Every structure is written in structure tokens, then in C-alpha cells.
Amino acid sequence: MALVPYRKRERWDPFYELEKLQNEMNRLFNFSLTRWPERDTGLLEGMWSPAVDVYDSKDTVLVRADIPGMKKEELDISVQGDILVIKGEKKREGETKEKDYIRSERFYGSFNRAIALPVEVDPNKVAATYKGGVLEITLTKKETAKPKQIKIDVR
């Protein structure tokens, strides 16, 4: 929990309230899944989404997502235009009767990750594999999205 300096206020200050809102929004957009969130996560309480890498090559876009502990049947992948959507729900393996947890950092629950792709892809040419907790999606670019080389005649 962060310490906040005490400010004695004689009357209601709307700018102070706006400053608090701005600080919360800044904290929301600075959140990163590469580091563990503090216990007081505010607007992000109870939410998670898989970390992804997106690679852009000449003919394809490759997306790799870390989603360990799930079955391929529990994942739903869809493409519309230049947006890739990965949905699923990660369930707990079993209920623990003991309540003396020391630490619980693994994420559970449903997730919905929308990824803006660098170009429009062909939704009929999408291949996905899931191995070792890594979902790999290969999307073929549409012909109109591929760069064209134009020769210039010098006269």
C-alpha cells in the first residue's frame, strides 16, 4: 500500500478529486503483466490476460501467447479485419480445503484479449497450435496488405 501525504482541506476541492482520478488512470495505463501487481490493483482487480508477442514478416503475422494450464478446447480464437481476439477461461485444478495460503500469484478466471494486428489478414488462412502452454497463431496477410515493389523509370 502506498503512503499518501496528509493534506488538510478546509473545503471541497474539485481539482484535488481530478488529481486523484488522473493518478488512478496513470497507474492503470502503467500496469504491466511482466511484473506482479500490488495487492491494491484498483480498476484491474481480478482481471488478467495472457502476455503476447506479435511478429510481422513478409507474408504472415505470427502471434505467440503464454496461456499455461489450459486445454486447446477451452480457447476461442477469432479474426475480424485487423483484430485478433483470444478468449478463454482458466479454471482452478481443484479446491484447496486449507485456508493457510502463504502466497497465491497464479491467475484464474475468464480472459478476453483483443490484439490489433499491423495489417488486415485473411480469416480463412489462420492456423493455430497449442503446445507447452504457448498458443501460436499464424495469420496470412491479405494480398492488398502486402507491400508492392514499384519500379521507377529514369529518363
* pLDDT for the residue 134: 92
* pLDDT for the residue 45: 46
Average pLDDT over residues 130-154: 83
Q: What share of the chain is helix, strand, coil (3-state, %, to 5)?
A: 15, 35, 50
User: Coil, strand or helix: which one is 80?
Assistant: strand
Maximum pairwise Cα distance, the chain: 83
Cα–Cα distance for residue pair 142/125, rounded to 1 Å: 9
Residue 146's nearest CA partner among 81, 79, 61, 84 is: 61
Average pLDDT over residues 71-84: 88
- The larger pLDDT score, comparing residue 25 to residue 137, is at 137
Cα–Cα distance for residue pair 81/121, rounded to 1 Å: 6
* pLDDT for the residue 40: 43
pTM of the predicted model as reported, rounded to 2 decimal places: 0.60
* pLDDT for the residue 91: 77
* pLDDT for the residue 127: 93
Q: pLDDT tens-digit profile of 5-47?
A: 666 666 777 788 888 888 888 777 765 544 444 444 444 445 6
Contacts of 40 (CB under 8 A, 6+ apart): 1, 2
* pLDDT for the residue 44: 45
Summary mean pLDDT of the chain: 78
Which amino acid would we find at residue 151?
K
Cα–Cα distance for residue pair 46/84, rounded to 1 Å: 23
- 48-93+106-146 carries CATH number 2.60.40.790: yes
Would you place residue 62 in the very low, low, confident or very high pLDDT band (cuts 50, 70, 90)?
very high
Cα–Cα distance for residue pair 87/109, rounded to 1 Å: 11
Within 13 Å of residue 58, how many CA atoms lie on the same side as its CB? 2
Instruction: Considering the chain, tell me which residue range(s) the CATH 2.60.40.790 domain(s) occupy.
Output: 48-93+106-146
* pLDDT for the residue 41: 43
Element (H, E) at 25: helix 14-29
Long-range pairs of 32-37 with CB within 8 A, sequence gap ≥ 24: 36/105
* pLDDT for the residue 97: 64
* pLDDT for the residue 135: 93
* pLDDT for the residue 49: 81
Among residues of the chain, what percentage have pLDDT more than 70? Answer: 72
